A and B are shown apart, each in its own frame.
Chain A
Amino acid sequence: MAEQNDILEEHISSEYKYGFSSDIETETAPPGLSEDIVRFISAKKNEPEWMLEYRLKAYRHWKTMEEPRYWAHLQYPEINFQNIIYYAAPKQKPELKDLSEVDPELLATFEKLGISLEEQKRLTGVQSNIAIDAVIDSVSVKTTFKEVLAEKGIVFCSFSEAVQEHPELIKKYMGSVVPYTDNFYAALNAAVFSDGSFCYIPKGVRCPMELSTYFRINTSGTGQFERTLIVADEHSYVSYLEGCTAPMRDENQLHAAVVEIVSHKNAEVKYSTVQNWYPGDKNGKGGIYNFVTKRGICLEENSKISWTQVETGSSITWKYPSVILKGDNSVGEFYSVAVTNNYQQADTGTKMTHIGKNTRSTIISKGISAGHSNNSYRGLVRINKGAKNARNFSQCDSLLMGPLCGAHTFPYIEIKDKSAVVEHEATTSKIGEDQIFYCKQRGIDTEKAIRLIVNGYCKEVFNQLPMEFAVEAQKLLAVSLEGSVG
């Protein structure tokens, strides 16, 4: 912890440091959505017929749906879906042989973001490293460590590549957890998604490194619609990280992603997100609308899925990473820190659906609200009939900083089996003047005191993150809350 704090100290700056935009040559589709655009995207990606058919079915279904607006605790102007650019890709030569063929401006962008693709490449083979799939605007630009992973039979590549190279896996699993009929944005995503990451861990393999996808929206006026699909076959394990940033722009940009996880018998998937989309400025202008569907299924017995998220960015966040506990003895976990400052709004939580016997779920949610922001936890624990001896523990804490912000908790519990044990705890607290004064009396100034107190409050969640991400998360938290008290 102490070490993490040292690193933290070095990284304090109150500005959104990822707010630059890069001058990368891009190829974009005209704004608006139609069957032609869907066909255009599919053609651009040289997709097989079945993929196009899937997209078109999703598009036609989407047209019959209404934008969901009034259920979440959020307020935002109407979105004109015909104004959005649905496809933007960095221009590059097809079939890159090596990094020297990549647009240098693109490489510079990733350097700036702290992802050195070259470095990653050079370090190939070192076990503790992270394999990265980088998605800029709509397209995956580079996946590192592919060869090393392939030796173990692990598939880690862009979604487009998987469509070409592993159609049988994509056909089997895509839409199996989040069908395009699931909701408005899931349908939209299925119609227009342009890329994302795919990961398959074969039977009995423990993935030797963290797999990571780095998402970046660069082009103005575009939406980002990526899809992630992770399949952990029997007795396998993978830890997956996701990071997101965007340039500072006055406009609101839409990010509507779909993440699906399938965990087979005795398999475990750990999915960690540090979400740092541009949150808008101090007056609430600009920022990303982050409307995301994330769901995993514990398909067979003894499987496990664990979501950990640190949400500091986005102007509006609407996100409920969920687990369907179908296999007996399966385990679902959700650990979340959601920070809102200025005029940010977040409505986030999880859904745990218990179907199998002896299934267990844990929900730890830590909300922090500052400025004029509103932060809501919304969660559902559903125990189906026949889910004998299911257990859930939920803890939802809210921390308020200042008098103008709001914290809300909407827990829903549906129990259809009498043998279930469900516990729910909730607290709301204000960051104490007493706590700050206590720190000051020991020589620690206000900003550092707040950081210390907030990091302490989030500890249970940070403990779930891989080390590098935990440090990153603490830095982010400090930056997000800079100047919010006193």
Chain B
Amino acid sequence: MLSIKNLRAGIEGKEIIKGFNLEVKAGEVHAIMGPNGSGKSTLSNILAGREDYLVSSGEVSFNGKDLLDMSPEDRAREGLFLAFQYPIEIPGVSNINFLKTAINEIRAYKGLGPMEAKDFLKLIKEKQALVELQGSLAGRSVNEGFSGGEKKRNEIFQMAVLEPTLAILDETDSGLDIDALRIVANGVNKLRSADRSFIVITHYQRLLDYIVPDFVHVLYDGVIVKSGTKELALELEEKGYDWIKKEVVEA
């Protein structure tokens, strides 16, 4: 599904990702944890194709295609979805209109005609229930005047509608109270399937109580310094990141 090899990248001449490797197979959930400034958000921005970031070397293959060679919109159309840490507001554009445009763009890329209005509305209804999103939210402008929790739920709702093969959740748990966290996690769990993979980027183990990962990686100073299963997350929660930093320095 996704294969990242020796990735080096940064922004404004500063290298942040320093030889990053990751293999994600279909259906797997990988959690990437790490202290502030370790490069977590940079990684998600690079994968999504944000122009400000520059890749100096390495390879990223996504479903057999060269991801780095694709425009951000083509990456999305190929099935890569980023749930933003800070979802953007677009005043005056309804969620529904936004999603309809997105769906039809993705369909056009695949050589399909626009979705029938009837089918679209059915899809919206069904997916709204998944994240317990009120009907009125779908009609409101994209993220405008949404609370922090509503914004994050809206990201998961969009993900549910667009049905990506790889979803990257960039600190989706930040700013969520425990109820919202549960709703978001439930939404994600319902979307887990044998052919859909997730990269869950987070600071805290808390989210992983709900979205149980297959693998946990610790990112520190632009590289993965430790990988394990969900128990690693518990260990991090208990001991903090200092012992990892120490290990790295000693090595």
Contact = CB atoms under 8 A, between A and B. Distances in A.
A443 B109 contact: yes
B147 to A, nearest CB: 18
B93 interface: yes
B72 A1 contact: no
Contacts of B100: 2, 5
A355 to B, nearest CB: 34
Interface string A339-379: 00000000000000000000000000000000000000000
Contacts of B93: 452-453, 455-456, 459
Contact of B71 (A1, A440, A456): A440
Nearest to B103: A443
Interface in B37-96: 48-51, 71-73, 75-77, 81-82, 84, 87-94, 96
A441 interface: yes
A471 to B, nearest CB: 14
B88 A444 contact: no
B72 A440 contact: yes
* A interface: dominant SS: helix
Given A6-B114, A442-B158, A452 B77 contact: no
B117 interface: yes
Interface in B189-214: none
Contacts of A455: 92-93
Interface residues of B, number: 36
Contact of A453 (B76, B90, B99, B102): B90
A444 B84 CA distance: 16
B71 A459 contact: no
A441 B76 contact: yes
A460 B94 CA distance: 13
Chain A, interface residues (CB within 8 Å), range = 20 to 34
A441 B90 contact: no
Given A439-B90, A443-B77, A459-B92, 19 more contacts: A1-B94, A1-B97, A2-B100, A5-B101, A435-B90, A438-B90, A439-B102, A440-B71, A441-B73, A441-B75, A442-B76, A442-B99, A443-B105, A443-B162, A444-B73, A444-B101, A456-B141, A458-B92, A459-B93
Interface of B: 48-51, 71-73, 75-77, 81-82, 84, 87-94, 96-102, 105-106, 109, 114, 117, 141, 158, 162
16 contacts: A1-B97, A2-B96, A6-B114, A434-B88, A437-B48, A438-B90, A440-B72, A441-B75, A442-B99, A442-B102, A443-B77, A443-B105, A443-B162, A456-B141, A457-B92, A459-B92
